[in-house]
Copies of this chain bind each other. A is one copy, B any other.
Amino acid sequence: MASNRFPIMEIFGPTIQGEGMVIGQKTMFVRTAGCDYSCSWCDSAFTWDGTGKQDIRMLMASEIFQELSRIGGESFSHVTLSGGNPALLPQLNELIDLLHENGIAVALETQGSLWRDWFLQIDELTLSPKPPSSGMQTDWDILDELVSRLSDHNRCFCLKVVVFDDADIRFAEEVHRRYPEVSMFLQAGNNDIMETDSTVLLKRLMKCYEWLVQSVMASTVLRSVRVLPQLHTWLWGNKRGV
């Protein structure tokens, strides 16, 4: 019976997915609380560092769907599960099933630190191993397992690496060499998640993106990859809930 409760931090939309494999997609967002990582530059640290604790609600799948319907009305048919790391929730399939029953496609992003059988039900799955600048370590055995299971099942998934510096580019090259058949996205990092002046921020973000584009263009390892910014931060700065 679908009666588990999930720690939910935010439900919002419809808006666009600002990054990654379905960039531009009209979608609703469900953000779960809790993460097994603590990336130095995390732009959603409030989901795991305690500062957003008071916003966490323990909701059942049916309650999440009700809220999505209430705020999204008839205008959406796509939901993005984000975090934190939603893969921490073993029964999240209850929500995914309910969304699918209602004709809604489901995207999810996770760092790839653990496997869930319900990954096979996700319509667009992003595995985002974290580069050196994050301070995190990738467990390659686990990532190998995830990639091979998803590939074996012909799932629609990609790898995404957020890049801040040259060491991160080397890491992205390592990922791409290891999984050459998997669609690969490089994303320019947001190196100032505290900046409130959106014009100042935009200039900085565009510079970072141009640097990343130039670096990738010069690489003979990163031959067929996609390089993207975070469109939502270009548009709306570091604001939450958009």
Question: Residues of A with Cβ closer than 8 Å to B?
Answer: 14-16, 22-26, 73-78, 105, 185, 206, 209-210, 213, 216-220, 222-229, 231, 234-235
Contacts and interface: CB of A to CB of B under 8 A. Distances in A.
B231 A229 contact: yes
Contact of A16 (B16, B77, B227): B227
Contact of A216 (B26, B224, B226, B235): B26
A220 B222 CA distance: 40
A234 B219 CA distance: 23
A73 to B, nearest CB: 7
Contacts of A74: 220, 223
Contacts of A217: 14-15, 26, 75
Contacts of A75: 217-220, 223
A199 B129 CA distance: 35
Nearest to A223: B77
Contact of A24 (B76, B220, B223, B227): B227
Nearest to A226: B24
Contact of A224 (B16, B78, B209, B222): B78
Contacts of A206: 234-235
Given A14-B217, A231-B229, A24 B78 contact: no
Contacts of A105: 224
15 contacts: A14-B217, A15-B213, A16-B213, A23-B24, A25-B224, A26-B225, A74-B223, A75-B217, A75-B218, A75-B219, A75-B220, A76-B223, A209-B235, A229-B231, A234-B234
A148 to B, nearest CB: 23
Contacts of A222: 26
A224 to B, nearest CB: 4
Contacts of A229: 231
A128 B209 CA distance: 27
A223 B77 CA distance: 6
Contacts of A224: 25-26, 76-78, 105
Nearest to A20: B24
A236 to B, nearest CB: 9
Contacts of A22: 226
Contacts of A225: 25-26
